[in-house]
Structure 1
Amino acid sequence: MGSHLPGAVGVSRLSVYDTTAPDGLHGGTPHMHLTCSEGYVVLAGTGRVQTLSGEGYRETALTPGTVAWFRPGTIHRLVNDGGLRIVVLMQNSGLPEAGDAVLTFPSDVVGDPQAYRAAATLPGGADLAPAYRRRDLAVTGFLAMRAGGPEAFTAFCRAAAELVAPRLADWRQRWESGALEVALATGRQLDALGNGDLTHLAAGGIEVLPAPTESGRHGMCGLLDIYIP
């Protein structure tokens, strides 16, 4: 179990993009997770997270010390009003990295797997221009969805589910060996304690990541420093 962070969460440090999107705001790429909740711990700066879900549209202020989180099915977009830096906590570590995020491109792109893949894939390298182009296309689709009301949101959810359908078997395997296994281990420990078996207590200890495993990755919302056990 030592290979997982507590609860098998994913942890990264995020410096939110500060360049201008098509609507004049600075920030990241709106997207939705289909099976993972996501949380923010704000470290510095100010900003907002715009969310669109079955509850409708909402804008939540982010200041140092704020903790905010949202469930699967919540489209979210970070807006950077100045120096916004966040620690991001992701449920089901391994699933987001395996594609559990669908960007809010216009409907004709989201409805075409080949076009979606071409628009979503970054070429790599240090140049941020492709990440900004991807962000701008997703913001364009996000703004159209907001204007389209609940019907447009529902249509996006259907298209997103169709896009990820080929990956579900892989996601299930990652979940079973990650978050599910960690939860089941707690059950085994409870059973052991109930039987007077203290064996697992002898396996305690500390593990440390003194620095990010990878720094400066081009994420959807900004530059990511990622911690991978």
Structure 2
Amino acid sequence: MSTPRFPGGTAVSGLRVYDWEAADGLHGGTPHMHTASTEAYVVAAGRGQVHTVTGEGAQVTDLSAGTVLWFGPGTVHRLVNHGGLELTVVMQNAGLPEAGDAVFTFPRAVLADREAYDDAARLAPDASEEELGRQARARRDLAMEGYLELVASVAEHGPESLREFHRHAAELVRPRVDAWRRIWRENVERETELTRDQLAALERGEPGAMHDAALVRTEPHPGPRRFGMCGRLRTWQPRTTGPERP
């Protein structure tokens, strides 16, 4: 896969990968995939692996500080923490992953029942930190159960087993697509239009958007890191400031 050219609407977050032990004795996050968005990892610290499943089968890629890798929609991935693994995550189509673009590798019976899937994927928004951690770990463990089944099935039956998972995922997210399209138009498409307008202005010899030049400083959202799919997430809220002086 060639390095993609992200459109507007890219999101960035900081990730400390879970060190919880899983059923196979490894420590790490929740296996899942994205149905519409490309994702990139920039490893900031620590050591680990990303385990992926594609049409070519299961693969293990080592991670250490400075590693950069990309994967597109449909790539099942699982982060494994060998010690202090921290990443900067770059996500295409900001807003869509938060709206359900990610599908967990739950067992087939859960994937086939949308209500059961939603119950298993949901974290209670008003729960305590301790309870959220318990729920996130239970979600990870259930996804691991389905993930190990999927890896074994792909090894035995080939790509059709992954295509079956993709079909389940597409059916699960189908009711959300109209809402996703609105998010995409307000975010990604809008940014693309701004670039188109800027190119048109430059073609006329006009500064265009350069008149709106500003420095944007990002501040972390207050409170503890939230429980994500692969670990504890730090996200930022942008604010516009005047030019900074050295």
Q: Could you tell me the TM-score, scaled by structure 1's length?
A: 0.94
Q: What secondary structure does 1:7 align onto?
A: coil
Q: 1:87 to 1:215 in 2, by over 3 A?
A: farther
Tell me if the contact between 2:198 and 2:208 (Cα under 8 Å) persists in the aligned partners: no
- Partner amino acid for 1:84? L
In structure 1, stretches of 5+ residues that fail to align are 1-5
Residues 120-129 or 55-64, more deviating: 120-129
Following superposition, the deviation at residue 69 of structure 1 comes to 1.1
Counterpart selection for 1:125 from 119, 123, 128: 128
Write out aligned runs for 1:37-76 (5 A). Answer: 37-76=38-77
CA offsets per residue over residues 122-146 of structure 1, 9 Å max, x none?
A: 1232021111111011011011011
Deviation at residue 214 of structure 1 after TM alignment: 5.6
The answer to whether structure 1 residue 136 and structure 2 residue 141 are counterparts is: yes
Structure 2 residue aligned with 1:79:
80
Say if 1:151 and 1:161 are closer, same or farther in 2 by CA, change over 3 A.
same
Alpha-carbon shift at residue 29 of structure 1 (Å) = 0.2
CA distance in 2: counterparts of 1:182 and 1:151, whole angstroms? 37
> Percent of aligned pairs with the same residue?
49
| Secondary structure at 1:163 match in 2 | helix
* Residue in structure 2 matched with residue 187 of structure 1 by the alignment: 196
Partner of 1:107: 108
1:200 paired with 2:200, answer no
Are the counterparts in 1 of residues 220 and 237 from structure 2 also a CA contact under 8 Å?
no
Q: 1:146-225 alignment to 2 at 5 Å?
A: 146-149=151-154, 150-212=159-221, 215-225=224-234
SS in 1 for 2:61: strand
Q: Does the CA-based 8 Å contact 1:51-1:76 persist in structure 2?
A: yes
Q: Secondary structure at the match of 2:47?
A: strand
CA spacing shift, 1:214–1:168, aligned 2, 3 Å: farther
- Rounded Cα–Cα distance in structure 1 between residues aligned with 2:43 and 2:142: 26
Q: Secondary structure at the match of 2:220?
A: coil
3-state SS of paired residue (1:189) = helix
Residues 157 and 39 (structure 1), Cα distance of their counterparts in 2 relative to 1, 3 Å cut? same
Task: State the AA in 1 paired with 2:11.
Answer: G
> 2 CA distance for matches of 1:125 and 1:218?
12
CA RMSD of aligned residues (A): 1.3
Q: Is the 8 A contact 1:213 1:228 kept in 2?
A: no
**1:75 deviation in Å?**
0.5
SS in 2 for 1:93: coil
Which residue identity lines up with residue 192 of structure 2 in the other structure? Answer: A
Q: CA deviation at 1:212?
A: 4.0
**Residues 213, 168 of structure 1: CA spacing in aligned structure 2 closer, same or farther, 3 A cutoff?**
farther
Alpha-carbon contact 1:16-1:84 (below 8 Å) kept:
yes
User: Could you say which residue in structure 2 is the equivalent of 1:3?
Assistant: none
- Paired with 1:163 and 1:210, the residues of 2 have a C-alpha distance of 35
Instruction: Name the CA shift for 1:23/1:86 in 2 (closer, same or farther; >3 Å).
Output: same
- The TM-score with structure 2 as length reference comes to 0.88
List per-residue Cα deviations over 1:100-141 (Å, max 9, x = no partner): 000000000011001111111112320211111110110110
Q: Is the 8 A contact 2:202 2:208 kept in 1?
A: no
Do the aligned residues in 2 keep the contact of 1:110 with 1:159 (CA within 8 Å)? yes
- For residues 133 and 17 of structure 1, the distance between their equivalents in structure 2, rounded to whole angstroms, comes to 13
